[in-house]
């Protein structure tokens, strides 16, 4: 479900990922240190997406009881009608519920249909904690199952973990209640598997007697995301402040170029993509053939903080 690419991932900076190697490298680096999010939709390009699920995000700052109650309503509803679904505990005090559907392009029509179905379910089942502003949000990002729950402490402005995982729950585990779930999320569990022969999105209308078609998009799609990625990098996608600074200079030092290249290759960028990135930065005396040769000789690894240490370290994602 979550390993079918391409997708945007965020820690929280968003990066466009089109290879499993890049995804695994990024998760190895950030899991447990930063919140790990992934786009709900799969992308065929940076601006074109396909949808294969209806998502409800249930959350509460006070306790788990109301989000659990709402999620249980959807579990019982889908069991009654034999509809494929998955339940994910966020690792905090909330749940993500997925109706699994046949894949189709994200268009104005499909987005409006998705929005209408979510509104109908919200009303029919009298859901209290569903995050309605996220209904049919085309560029929605959501926590990745098996990632460690990390959040930003607004008082200290530092990231912290509560010791839980964002975890997939079988219906049996979910229905055993909150005490059992609290024990389950101490372990990362497994990745949810995709459904076999899921229904079309429009087929869900059959189970919604009060369905009413609504408009979400007003002729526009909110699909655009911050550019970055494993095709050609951008400054914003680097995520490391010192490297962003050095890359934006007209003539970075040899050491800085090595560290920058090693980091980009660690993220999964190809030699050609990195070379084209440097070309677009308009460094002094840039030579494409020579740069490609130098980039090819460098192995992927984390940048050396000892060599790059400076005023940016307090805001660095690698610290």
Mean pLDDT by 10 residues, the chain (319 residues): 87 84 90 94 91 94 89 98 97 95 94 95 94 87 95 86 97 97 96 93 95 73 43 77 88 90 86 89 88 88 76 62
Domain 7-207, architecture per CATH: Alpha-Beta Complex (3.90)
User: What single string gives the DSSP state of each residue in 188-219?
Assistant: ---PPPPPSSPPPGGGGGGG-TT------STT
Kindly state the helix (H) or strand (E) to which residue 148 belongs, with its residue range. Answer: strand 148-153
Phi and psi (nearest 5°) for 104?
Answer: -150, 155
Cβ atoms 7, 142 nearer than 8 A:
no
Sheet containing 167-169: give its strands across: 42-45, 48-59, 94-105, 85-89, 167-169
Torsion angle, alpha carbons of 256, 260, 262, 264, to 10: 180
Kindly state the helix (H) or strand (E) to which residue 318 belongs, with its residue range. Answer: none
Separation of alpha carbons 216 and 219, rounded Å: 9
Kindly state the helix (H) or strand (E) to which residue 44 belongs, with its residue range. Answer: strand 42-45
Kindly state the helix (H) or strand (E) to which residue 174 belongs, with its residue range. Answer: helix 171-175
Quickly count: other Cβ atoms within 10 Å of residue 76's Cβ: 13
What does the longest C-alpha to C-alpha distance in the chain come to?
68
What pLDDT score was predicted for residue 73? 98
What pLDDT score was predicted for residue 13? 75
Map residue 140 onto helix, strand or coil. coil
- Both tokens assigned to 134: 């996220």
Phi and psi (nearest 5°) for 50?
Answer: -125, 145
Cβ atoms 171, 79 nearer than 8 A:
yes
The residues with which 14 forms a beta bridge, in sequence order, are 10
Q: Establish whether the linkage from the previous residue to 12 is cis, with ω within 30° of 0.
A: yes
Cβ atoms 291, 273 nearer than 8 A:
no
Pairing of strands 37-39, 141-143: antiparallel
What are the Cα distances from residue 161, in Å, to 31, 144, 178, 223?
10, 15, 20, 30
Separation of alpha carbons 131 and 142, rounded Å: 12
Cβ atoms 26, 302 nearer than 8 A:
no
Please give the distance of CA 254 from its chain centroid, rounded to a whole number: 34
In the chain, which residues fall in CATH 3.90.920.10? 7-207
Residue partners of 313: CB distance under 8 A and separation at least 6: 242, 305, 319
Separation of alpha carbons 200 and 205, rounded Å: 10
Pairing of strands 158-165, 148-153: antiparallel
Q: Which of 192, 184, 11 is nearest to 85 (CA)?
A: 192
């Amino acid at each position: 479900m979550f390993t079918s690419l391409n997708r945007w991932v965020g820690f929280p900076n968003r990066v466009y990922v089109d290879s499993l190697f890049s995804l695994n490298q990024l998760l190895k680096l950030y899991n447990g240190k930063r919140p790990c999010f992934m786009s709900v939709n799969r992308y065929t390009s940076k601006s074109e997406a396909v949808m294969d699920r209806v998502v409800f995000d249930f959350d509460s700052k006070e306790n788990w009881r109301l989000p659990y109650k709402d999620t249980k309503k959807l579990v019982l509803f889908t069991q009654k009608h034999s509809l494929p679904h998955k339940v994910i505990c966020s690792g905090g005090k909330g749940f993500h519920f997925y109706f699994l559907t046949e894949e189709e392009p994200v268009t104005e029509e499909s987005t409006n249909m998705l929005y209408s179905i979510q509104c109908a379910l919200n009303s029919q089942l009298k859901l209290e904690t569903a995050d309605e502003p996220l209904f049919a949000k085309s560029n929605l990002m959501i926590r990745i199952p098996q990632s460690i729950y990390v959040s930003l402490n607004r008082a200290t402005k530092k990231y912290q973990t509560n010791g839980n995982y964002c975890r997939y729950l079988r219906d049996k585990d979910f229905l055993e209640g909150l005490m059992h779930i609290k024990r389950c999320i101490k372990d990362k569990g497994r990745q949810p598997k995709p459904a076999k022969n899921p229904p079309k999105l429009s087929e869900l209308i059959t189970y919604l007697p009060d369905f009413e078609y609504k408009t979400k998009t007003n002729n526009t799609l909110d699909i655009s995301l911050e550019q970055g990625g494993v095709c050609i990098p951008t400054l914003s996608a680097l995520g490391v402040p010192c490297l962003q600074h050095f890359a934006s200079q007209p003539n970075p030092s040899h050491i800085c170029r090595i560290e920058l290249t090693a980091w980009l290759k660690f993220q999964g960028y190809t030699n050609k993509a990195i070379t084209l990135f440097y070309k677009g930065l308009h460094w002094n005396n840039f030579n494409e053939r020579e740069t490609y040769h130098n980039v090819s000789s460098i192995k992927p690894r984390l940048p050396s903080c000892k060599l790059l240490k400076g005023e940016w370290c307090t805001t660095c994602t690698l610290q």
